[in-house]
Structure 1
Amino acid sequence: MVAIIKTGHSIRAMLNYNENKIKQGKAECIGQGNFPVDADRLTYIMKLNRLEKQCKLNENVKRNTVHISLNFDPSEASLPKEKLLEIAGSYMEKIGFGDQPYLIYKHNDAGHPHIHITTINVQENGKRIVMHNIGKDKSEPARKEIEQAFNLVKAEHQKKKEFKPEPVSVRVQYGKTETKNAIENGLNFVVNNYKFTSLPELNAVLKLYNIEADKGNENSRVAKHSGLLYHALNGKGTRVGVPIKASRFHDKPTLKKLEKKFVA
């Protein structure tokens, strides 16, 4: 199991990312923690209000959203809903978020099974949960314990696997799918499943999904701010349509941000 934790400053954006996946038929909200009713009875407004109300207890916390994805090996695609909920609940307890309000979404838009957990880092007493080194200090020990307890494929084994391009359903098909969502889905899959040490290496893989990342002209605003433009490609590898700025995507995959993922 691979756990990824991201923080942000917009509860609405975090929630909309997952709720829009539901509208597209690519996800479902399968569970919740510390909400007044079960997940299937929660409306969008109930979800939003619960999270926003608690965050208002400490408005000094600017990066108050915590968006977690738990990613499983492709061989674990048949994990039942009940087990996914157990895993999510156990993980949240172990990283110190067991008493926080959180929502669990099962996504079906990638080549590997995964769930997203949306929560906040402001507690009921108004204190902030410290996020510094949470990945190393809490998430890593938690995922190792969970791998053992639930007999999951270990993250180390997943990282060593050679991922192959996903079927056409994850690739951009210009004119047949909504371009922004298609690029975002393909980009998320590549960034989370491949290793790359430079933008050209990343593009070598992205092009398998009919996507290309572009720094823009040397003197452009995009280049000066280490941003990126993402182009959709047709079947011949030619750019089509209008490029989309990295800032328009949920994870804001700018060059500056991706460089942190470059590995030696």
Structure 2
Amino acid sequence: MPHQPLEPTVRRRRLGQTLKKLRTGAGMTLEDAAAAMQWKVPKLSKIENARQQIRPAEVTALLRAYRVTDPEVFTALENLARDAGKKGWWQTYSGVVSPAYADYISLEDDAERICEWAPLAIPGLLQTAAYARETMTATGESRTAQEITALAEVRQSRQAVLTRPGHPLQLWAIIHEAALHTRFEVRPATMREQLRRLLDASELPNVTVQIMPLDSTAHPGLFGGFGLVSFPGPTPDVVLLENLNGATYVEGDGAQPFASAVERIRAAALSVEDALARIAQLEEGHRK
């Protein structure tokens, strides 16, 4: 049976949440807004709850009904409505990319900034192909060699957002020092190459890498890793939480505690200068 296209539903949720926030900010009930649009109430309710798509022209009309005047808001939400059903390059890998993973790649594609706290492994946007294959082989017990290779290709393709023309993704990664000491017995050079990759990526003006030292003070990151994804315009942040069962998302107001936690985690980590010196020291140690 052919695979069904993967729907980027996170985009619709972001759009629906933002439209609902603008409606309530305008002091309008669902009934008020539906009447202004000459819609039935269930239609607007389904749009706000991401169960129905909305055309860009309808977004424009809604924003006018909500008395929005900021042109950047119009542009951001019209583009989000236009892209809500767009299929990305990752659809080519639908046989190995789960719907939740596809959702996250679409978030990366839309994002303006990502702050990632990585206590156990190097963030995917900074991984070498060899590191990706080795770690996925170790953790993906039910994956075939061909699937691992495909997923490693996906991880490498995702990194194009860091060098996309005009508006490269701003990435701030805080990595626990323990993640820099992983041993790879089959291919020992993997970690050295990965450390070099971190140093090279740090030379990009839109990439910042910090290291959480082994002897750090206590901080909110002790509760586990996460990625805080931020977007242009008024759409809310989204937080990614990962584990062996896949990915889950924290959206809307639930993302705010993570934004606060990021600042405290940054403060507990080494400065950027000291972090790069630590990475370079470890990379040099692998050469001996």
Q: Above 0.5 in TM-score?
A: no
| Greater strand share, structure number | 1
- Normalising by the smaller structure, the TM-score range is under 0.3
| Greater helix share, structure number | 2
* Larger Rg over CA atoms: 2
Q: What's the TM-score once normalised by structure 2's chain length? A: 0.23
Q: What's the TM-score once normalised by structure 1's chain length? A: 0.24
Larger relative contact order (Cα-Cα within 8 Å, sequence gap ≥ 6): 2
